[in-house]
Amino acid sequence: MTVRLVVTYFTVFILTLSLIGYYIIATTNNFFISEEKMNASKIANIISSFAANYISEDNSHVSEDFSPFLKSLLLDDKMRVLIINKDSLAIYDSHNNQAILGKAQVKKSVITSLGGKEGNENYKDETTGIDIIDVSVPINSGSGIIGAVNVVYTAEGVRLFTSAMRESFVFIAIVSGLLVGLVIFIMVNFMTRRIINFTDKITLMSDGVLDEKMEIKGNDEIARMGMAFNTMAEKLALNERQRIQFVSDASHELKTPLSSIKLMADSILQNPDISREQTNEFLVDINNEADRLNRIINKLLNITKLDTQIESGQVNFELFDLGAFVLGIAKTLYPLAMDSKVTLNLSGEKEIYILGDKDTLFQAIYNICDNAIKYSNNGGEVNIILEKNNNNAIVRIRDNGVGMSPEDAEHIFERFYRVDKARSRETGGTGLGLAIANAAVKAHGGHIDVISEMNMGSEFIIVLPLTDKS
């Protein structure tokens, strides 16, 4: 990849530089040629304004004073001056070429000037490649056009200048091309090394090594990709730790009732003299533990199902009245509240329409209300209050029961976390109820807050967003 990138960048750079160079040289060349053309035209006009005085009456030659006159103009020796008579014959040549004198000059510029207008053109000399500027202007006397001045200028200076420019350009292009190539090579190599390093880390991760980190250098796109990678790796590692913790906690929770069952069954089997009454006592305990196992397994299944539903987005949203829904839950909990000698009250807004999955929200609200009753003292009071603001539907579940410390409040939504294991066990708790409630509310884009004080009571606040349709 490095070689390919370097070659591509290098080629693009050289091509761009060559195009710019070609354009600059061509423009400069054109500029100088037009300057030289103007210069030649000025000179031709000056000569023409005096030339009539030097042309003989019969239009066949120029007087001898013409050459000194031309010399007095201090013309460049690359400039050749011809005087053409009105019959297109050359009657004077500043370069004194006898072969030309007396011969007809049928050049375009001469023909134009004999017609009364200035003629000019420029072309390249076929052998030397030098630009030739050819300007002719008519010579007027009182009787009309008596001939033309033809100035031919070999613009060698322009050629020398442009070829020097071309050479410098080629030199600059090669040197800067090499420098750019080197810089690109270093940069691309640096980048590809980082990408290779990145790929290696991903490969390691896919092999199960989750504590790999990308080294972050700078703040460019690759560094940002590295940061995103590190965040993802941290999340994956955390997920993995939570998964292992969950499996170990779940096994432990299942093992405890199972061990009791085994112990009690062994006691019955190994004690042939055991009375009917004692056997019955053991069997009642075995039955309770089996129920407990059943409850844990059901909740575990529930929580796994909820996780899968949330992950796959299979939550079944429908529009319903939260007020009527919570009233239904409260009604199912009245018998339990009565048994526990707890007063259960429902107040606040009656109709709050929300979009939600009834099954999962039932578990969330039911579990929290159930806890409020379970963790209340005899004669306690549980208040369920429904509220609504611009953005949210709010269900407050307030009790004046045992409460908990702020440290415990931070952990109660973790799976299997229980403040008072004995009390939770007594009331048939599994430590999964709040974890289920939390996952269910989160699946609705909401959250649960808790305010609690030891021996004073707790308030659980379920906040569910109201959608546009609700």
Among 300, 337, 342, 372, binds ligand ADP (CB under 6 A): 372
DSSP string spanning 123-159? EE-TTT--EEEEEEEEEEETTEEEEEEEEEEE-HHHH
List of residues 6+ apart from 373 with CB closer than 8 A: 333, 336, 337, 340, 342, 344, 382, 399
**Residue 138 vs 433, nearer CB to ligand ADP:** 433
Among 81, 344, 419, 441, binds ligand ADP (CB under 6 A): 419
Q: Which of 412, 441, 462, 463 binds ligand ADP (CB under 6 A)?
A: 412
Helices (H) and strands (E) in the chain, counts: 11, 12
Nearer to ligand ADP, 105 or 430 (CB): 430
The pattern of x and - marking residues 449 through 468 that bind ligand ADP according to CB under 6 A reads ---------x----------
How many Cα atoms occupy the beta-carbon half-sphere of 319 within 13 Å?
7
CA distances from 90 to 78, 87, 95, 230, 249 (A): 19, 9, 12, 90, 117
366 is an interface residue for ligand ADP by CB under 6 A: no
Task: Give the residue carrying structure tokens 């407050």.
Answer: 396
Report whether 282 contacts 264 (CB < 8 A): yes
The verdict on 424 binding ligand ADP (CB under 6 A) reads yes
Q: Chain centroid to CA 61: how far?
A: 83
CA distance 38 to 452: 98
Query: How many chain residues are in contact with ligand ADP, going by CB under 6 A?
Result: 23
Q: Is 384 in the site for ligand ADP (CB under 6 A)?
A: no
Least separation in angstroms between CB 366 and ligand ADP: 11
| Least distance between ligand ADP and beta carbon 435 (Å) | 6
Report the candidate in 101, 43, 87 with the shortest Cα–Cα distance to residue 69. 43
Pick one of 194, 398, 418, 444: the residue that binds ligand ADP (CB under 6 A).
418
Q: Is 432 in the site for ligand ADP (CB under 6 A)?
A: yes
Q: How many CB atoms lie within 10 A of CB 217?
A: 11
Measured from the CB atom, the residue of 66 and 460 that comes closer to ligand ADP is 460
Nearer to ligand ADP, 51 or 326 (CB): 326
The sign of the torsion formed by the CA atoms of 358, 359, 360, 363 equals positive
Least CB distance from residue 381 to ligand ADP, whole Å?
A: 12
Out of 371, 380, 396, 448, name the contact with ligand ADP by CB under 6 A. Answer: 371
Q: How far is the CB of 463 from ligand ADP (least distance, A)?
A: 17
Dihedral sign (CA 332, 335, 339, 340) = positive
The reply to whether 429 sits near ligand ADP by the rule CB under 6 A is: yes
* Shortest distance in whole angstroms from residue 456 CB to ligand ADP: 10
402, 440, 441, 463: which one binds ligand ADP (CB under 6 A): 402
Nearer to ligand ADP (CB atom), residue 344 or residue 372: 372
Q: Work out which of 261, 367, 386, 394 binds ligand ADP, going by CB under 6 A.
A: 367
Question: Is residue 430 within the footprint of ligand ADP (CB under 6 A)?
Answer: yes
Residue 93 amino acid letter: D
Answer for which of 433, 440, 462, 464 binds ligand ADP (CB under 6 A) is 433
420 interacts with ligand ADP by CB under 6 A: yes
- Output the CA angle 383-393-300, nearest 5 degrees: 75
Choice between 133 and 435, CB closer to ligand ADP: 435
Q: What is the DSSP string of 275-321?
A: -HHHHHHHHHHHHHHHHHHHHHHHHHHHHHHHHHHHHHT----EEEE
Q: How far is the CB of 217 from ligand ADP (least distance, A)?
A: 45
Report the interface residues with ligand ADP, using CB under 6 A.
367, 371-372, 375, 399, 401-404, 412, 417-420, 424, 429-435, 458
